[in-house]
Amino acid sequence: MNASAGPAARVEMHAIGKSFPGVRALSGVDLTLYPGEIHALLGENGAGKSTLIKILTGALDRDAGEIRLDGEPVDFRSTGEAQTSGISTVYQEVNLIPAMSVTKNLALGPSDGAFGIISWRKARAAARQKLARLNLDIDIEQPVGTFSVAVQQLVAIAHALDDDTSVLVLDEPTASLDAQETATLFSILRDLKSRGMAIVFITHFLDQVYEISDRISVLRNGGLVGTGLASDISRQELISMMIGRELGEVEATFAHKASEEKGTEKLVARGIGRKRTLEPFDLTLHAGEVVGLAGLLGSGRTELTKLVLGAIRADSGTLEVGGKDVGRNTPRQSLESGIAFCPEDRKAEGLVGDLSIRENIMLSMQAKNGWLRRVPRKQQERLASEMIDALAIATPDAEKPVRQLSGGNQQKVVLARALASKPEILLLDEPTRGIDVGAHAEIIMLIRRLCEDGMALLVASSELDEIVAASDRVAVMRDRRKIGEIAGEDIKRDNIIRMIAGEDGGQH
């Protein structure tokens, strides 16, 4: 975009591609970094940010494309090689040893001394010098764990910075910082930038993107949506780039139900919330209604569904299911009162990988039945094959370990498990994450079909089109609170984006 105008690029990544078994993580992604710029890298979970960064820093091999550093093609085999060439990374989780002193933490890594012997006098001097670069004046003999998270973050940055560091990658550095601490970090970043460093800044806080970055790149589903000057991209455009694909082929095919057609109230949440997790919110789900949950990464979509399920314990509010107060429920009690849940992270929270498809499908239903009333084997097999047919799960038989299935089929197994428990309320968190287009459309159709059968559904998604295509009502989230609802004919991309951007008279 402004490649010809500014100074020569420090890093040019061109047509980068990367696949993992069953997943295309990146394809044809370009990223150019100039000295003296702060470059924000944005995208939802699974968009490919961390894969791209890992390829840049040598932690992962790329399948396609090339990387040039100061015009020279490079091929890093390890993070050490990248670091020697001046590319340093600070990850989201602070990689320091809390019980060790600042000096010792900073001395970890490549040692100058012969036979790996450390001279503590030299190490202390080096530590002071490293911290001075960041204008950080702390007692370097104290254990790192005694300092605030912000200071720890700065120590981690100090650790990453060498005299010859020219590219600094920060992965969500402000995730656990408060406003004051973030301001401190930003002033240091501006200082580093003025000294000609190229800084990549990954975050999901849009305010911070506009506050600090010069240019913005947005990734989506493993592809680059666009790169541009921060001053040229409006907040609304930015949100649209992140979550809203241009509509076209997937135009909404049904009429959103008007509010008077609502069925009975299935679930009523009043003032449910938890400190530091989600502001108290009200939410009602009706029979035969799909409520979409829209918002950016980190806005509290997942937290809301988990609070309703009881997987996150609420510290305020009441929850009524089917007209009955269920108090502080657990996932187990939710299951009994007819709530089923499909989590966002299939591998970590959805499936038991070593168990068969049949066993995974059975699990919730069996849990609802109780341990004494085991579903007979024949009935299990019948149920599993019914589900495999109904959801078109591609597998030779139901006894295959579920981890051997592709992503889309795994997602269907998670759905099948939820459906097998015969729920009246279904909570879906990112039901189409990381699956191919065909399975995507099937799952949206399934959601509509379940809704017509009278189920109440809550669908959290980072795909705005999905929300628009599937919902009768949309709850919009921003900054860990529910900021409003949109219903019926008002459910349009632009309305939702405007609301998320806070240009609709919102509280922010």
Binding site for another protein (CB under 8 A): 309, 311, 330-332, 334-336, 341, 343, 348-355, 359, 362-364, 366-375, 377, 397, 399, 417, 421
Lay out the sheet containing 324-325: strands in order across: 278-286, 265-274, 316-321, 324-325
Whether the CB-CB separation of 134 and 162 falls below 8 Å is answered with: no
- Cβ atoms within 10 Å of 61's Cβ, excluding its own: 11
**Helix residue ranges, H only, 244-373:** 301-309, 331-336, 357-369
In whole angstroms, the minimum distance from the beta carbon of 287 to another protein comes to 21
Nearer to another protein, 73 or 327 (CB): 327
- Of 27 and 305, which CB lies nearer to another protein in the complex structure? 305
Distance CA 31, CA 16 (A): 9
Nearer to another protein, 275 or 377 (CB): 377
Give the position of tokens 């990146």: 26
Smallest gap from residue 409 Cβ to another protein (A): 16
Decide whether 38 or 335 has the Cβ nearer to another protein.
335
Sign of CA dihedral 479, 480, 484, 487: positive
Query: Which residue, 299 or 421, has its beta carbon nearer to another protein?
Result: 421
At its nearest, how many Å lie between another protein and the CB of residue 195? Answer: 45
Tracing tokens 């918002």 back to the chain, one arrives at: 295
Give one DSSP letter per residue of 182-246, joined into a string. HHHHHHHHHHHHHTT-EEEEE-S-HHHHHHH-SEEEEEETTEEEEEEEGGGS-HHHHHHHHH-PP
Residue 40, beta-bridge partner list:
201, 216
CB of 367 to another protein, least distance (A): 4
> Least distance (Å) from another protein to the CB of residue 81?
30
- CB of 379 vs another protein, minimal distance in Å: 13
At its nearest, how many Å lie between another protein and the CB of residue 52? Answer: 28
Comparing CB distances to another protein, the nearer of 41 and 416 is 416
Tell me how far, at minimum, the Cβ of 335 lies from another protein, in Å: 3
In angstroms, give the least distance from the CB of 326 to another protein: 14
Q: Torsions phi, psi of 59, nearest 5?
A: -75, -25
The single-letter code of the amino acid at 26 is: L
Distance of CA 443 to CAs 29, 57, 456, Å? 28, 37, 16
Task: State which amino acid sits at residue 12.
Answer: E
| Residues 6+ positions from 143 with CB-CB distance below 8 Å | 98, 99, 100, 101, 102
Nearer to another protein, 400 or 492 (CB): 400
Tokens 């090339």: give the residue: 66
What is the phi/psi pair of residue 208, to 5°?
Answer: -70, -35
Nearer to another protein, 43 or 343 (CB): 343
| C-beta of 30 vs 399, nearer to another protein | 399
DSSP 329-349: --HHHHHHTTEEEE-S-IIII
- Least distance to another protein from the beta carbon of 338, Å? 11
Could you give the 3-state DSSP secondary structure of residue 456?
strand
* Closer residue to another protein, CB minimum distance, 89 or 334: 334
How far apart are CB 98 and another protein at their closest, in Å? 19
CA dihedral sign of residues 365, 366, 372, 377: positive
Pick the closer one to another protein by CB: 14 or 368. 368
